[in-house]
Amino acid sequence: MQGEVHVVFFDIGATLGAIGLDASGTLATFDVYSHIPPILEQLKNRGLRIGIISNTGDHPGSQVTAVMSQSVIWRHFEADLLIYSADVGLAKDSPEIFTYASQVAKTGPRQCLYVGEDSWERLHATTAGMQVSPHPLLVQDIIDGERLRFVRLSPPEDLLSSQMRAALQGKSFVPLHVSGRERSKLVGITTTSALAALANAQIEVEPLGSADAPLLSDLYILRDDRAVRTGFLSFDGQSAAFFAAGDQANWLVSSTGEGLLVALPAGRSVEEFHFDEAYHGHNLKLTPDLTLLSSFDAVLATASFVEVDRSFSDELSEKERDVLSSLTDGSIEKHIGAYIGTAALGDGGEAVRSRHIHSADNERVVHALAKHFSSISDQLRVRLHPFTHEGKRLFNVEAEIGPNGADELILVTAHLDSTAAFSPPYDPRTDQAPGADDDASGVAGVLAIAEAIVSLAALQLPERAVRFVLFNAEEHGLVGSKAYARDQAAKAAPIVAVLQMDMIGYNVEAPRSWELHAGYWPSQEVQMRSLALAERVSRIARQVSPELQAPQVYVSKGALQADRDPAEGRSDHAAFHERGYTACAASEDFFAGPDAHAPEPEGNPHYHQKGDTFVDPSYAADIARVIAASAWMLARGPSP
């Protein structure tokens, strides 16, 4: 039985808005999500007291308040209900800070409700006796005694999926995932009362799991790549391994073409599930994001179509080619060693053993990367983007060059974390996971590209800004890139193109083949723009890396997994596809295809193993040079 709520405590980042830290980790910006002000106004009108419980790291409350107080929502919070970890000496990794908060509120814990995006933190709050909500949009429903359900929605055949998404905006529905042709299927969280209303609206409603599951669990897609490889009706997959262990079968809420849809209880890590023969993106975390209901109009209104942008030449000048020719194997070798443990990180500590999010080295690497970008040039504006996952505060790293507040952006990206889960027994907290190819090769490529773009900008200031972003927690389900893309989409960031690099370093046998992935079946519009981007990258490749074969370009041609781009939804570019942005991913020749004439793939035999220590720096430099030239030509404006 729910108790009457008197006080509502909110987390800050990813709940109330997007937080930005400068290169040193100091809180710099706070951008309120547009749906938050009316929610807080409604809670205040109900006579509820509103506070904050936040992990602030080394930031005292005075620093947080200095930034937060500039926002339009600050007037709703009571000063004596601002609970900051740095001030009280407690963090949200145990129930203690929640117990403390209810004592400060001078009310029983059941009269307090905590709102936060991380289920592990919500578990600690409930242990302390508080009620919880996974999203601000659902707070009033919980206060009114509603129970929450995971649900899958589909429109009937005679109703457009765009109409369904529009009708759901402002309702008690928080989307987690979109799939199906033209984004026709939605997985999300709703209330028991809303289920009936949705059915009355002739929306096909499929409840997933038990009532109240969204309070203390997260939905994941666990992909069974062996089952995909062996094909329809082969019965040879990995699902049996999931059902064989304890109460895990009770966590399964659905099985689809994408994989097993699992409600993972708070306190249990997706690290436990790494099916045999898994490829990129073997797990996908489904995270709340109201922008998934939006049409792509806002994205298209703020950024140009790549395929019709004829004012930007695809020809490099002699000076530009000279600058790009300096991106060589030495550029990759110079940058990669510190992040795979063959060279010092430069922070006075021991060599890095792992970049896994459960390793203490992960945060060391984050801060080293921020310093590394800053050392390249004072023209690079360096920031950290924090997010929370499995009770841990993690960071993406970004650096930007070009006009401050530019009308349009080009993103060059890779992921910074690593894993060796295919080397059992494996303890991610202490064991080695060098991840040289996956994805230190991409990290080194991004750093080398940043150097090249800085030099090119000295020839001509680009008209568009170029932003370099290194994502964290990719190996746990694209968590960092989804958090980042959500915050960009929330403010309709004008991103023209995303150029992702994921494993660009393994090539032993001829030919020097490589891949570009542009497929996105849920939106042919997004796929069309992403294919145009990939084709443009292909044309540019001939000028700067003639020793590479023409890239194998993948798109999705049908609903069946066999007809899909094998990297669709499986690397960090996917987080941007899902929100309407143009994106493609470059990689070594990892997958078969895309047609019968393609050479045999040369997958890295040490994928996700402790033996992932080899990178061909010349091959990686060839791919990075193509991405550097592509980013530059998209950003520069008319050639000099």
pLDDT of residue 1: 37
**pLDDT 10s digits, 574-611:** 999 999 999 999 999 999 889 888 889 998 999 999 99
The amino acid at residue 124 is H
**pLDDT 10s digits, 523-576:** 999 999 999 999 999 999 999 999 999 999 999 998 877 789 999 999 999 999
Q: Can you give the pTM of this predicted structure?
A: 0.96
User: Which long-range contacts (C-beta less than 8 Å, at least 24 apart) are formed by 234-242?
Assistant: 238/275, 238/276, 238/277, 241/275, 241/276, 242/273
* Phi–psi pair at 252, nearest 5 degrees: -70, 125
Cα-based torsion angle of the residue sequence 50, 54, 59, 62 in order, rounded to the nearest 10 degrees:
10
**pLDDT 10s digits, 278-301:** 677 789 999 999 999 988 877 777
Residue 288's alpha-carbon distances to 61, 130, 148, 285, 479, in angstroms, are: 27, 21, 14, 10, 11
Separation between Cα atoms, residue 370 and residue 630, nearest integer Å: 24
Tokens 């459960």 map to which residue? 358
Lowest mean pLDDT segment, chosen from 168-172, 301-305, 414-418, 621-625 = 301-305
Q: Is pLDDT at 235 greater than 70 in this prediction?
A: no
Name the helix (H) or strand (E) containing 302. Answer: helix 297-302
Q: Is pLDDT at 239 greater than 70 in this prediction?
A: no
Nearest to 284 by CA among 227, 224, 220, 225: 220
What percent of the chain clears pLDDT 90, i.e. is strictly above it?
Answer: 78
Nearest to 136 by CA among 90, 189, 177: 189
Q: Is 234 left (phi over 0), alpha (psi -120 to 50) or beta?
A: alpha
Cα-based torsion angle of the residue sequence 291, 292, 294, 296 in order, rounded to the nearest 10 degrees:
100
Lowest mean pLDDT segment, chosen from 7-11, 90-94, 301-305 = 301-305
Residue 499, SS3 per DSSP: strand
Q: How far is C-alpha 53 from the geometric centre of its chain's CA atoms?
A: 24
The one-character DSSP state at 242 is H
Separation between Cα atoms, residue 336 and residue 577, nearest integer Å: 29
Two tokens at 573? 């570019």
Residue 384, SS3 per DSSP: strand
**pLDDT 10s digits, 170-206:** 889 999 999 998 899 999 999 999 988 888 877 899 9
Q: How far is C-alpha 142 from the geometric centre of its chain's CA atoms?
A: 28
pLDDT of residue 551: 97
Average per-residue pLDDT for the chain: 92
Two tokens at 494? 């004008």
pLDDT of residue 104: 97
Q: Where are the alpha helices (DSSP H) in 387-517?
A: 441-459, 479-490
**Which residues 6+ apart lie within 8 Å of 247 measured at CB?**
none
Q: Is pLDDT at 455 greater than 80 in this prediction?
A: yes
On the question of a cis peptide bond just before residue 594, with omega within 30 degrees of 0, the verdict is yes
Q: Is pLDDT at 24 greater than 80 in this prediction?
A: yes
pLDDT tier at 473, thresholds 50, 70, 90: very high
Q: Is pLDDT at 312 greater than 60 in this prediction?
A: no
The one-character DSSP state at 599 is P
Lowest mean pLDDT segment, chosen from 231-245, 453-467, 617-631 = 231-245
Q: Is pLDDT at 369 greater than 50 in this prediction?
A: yes
Q: Is pLDDT at 379 greater than 70 in this prediction?
A: yes
The amino acid at residue 36 is I
**pLDDT 10s digits, 33-80:** 999 999 999 999 999 999 999 999 889 999 999 999 999 999 999 999
User: How many Cβ atoms from other residues are within 10 Å of residue 272's Cβ?
Assistant: 10
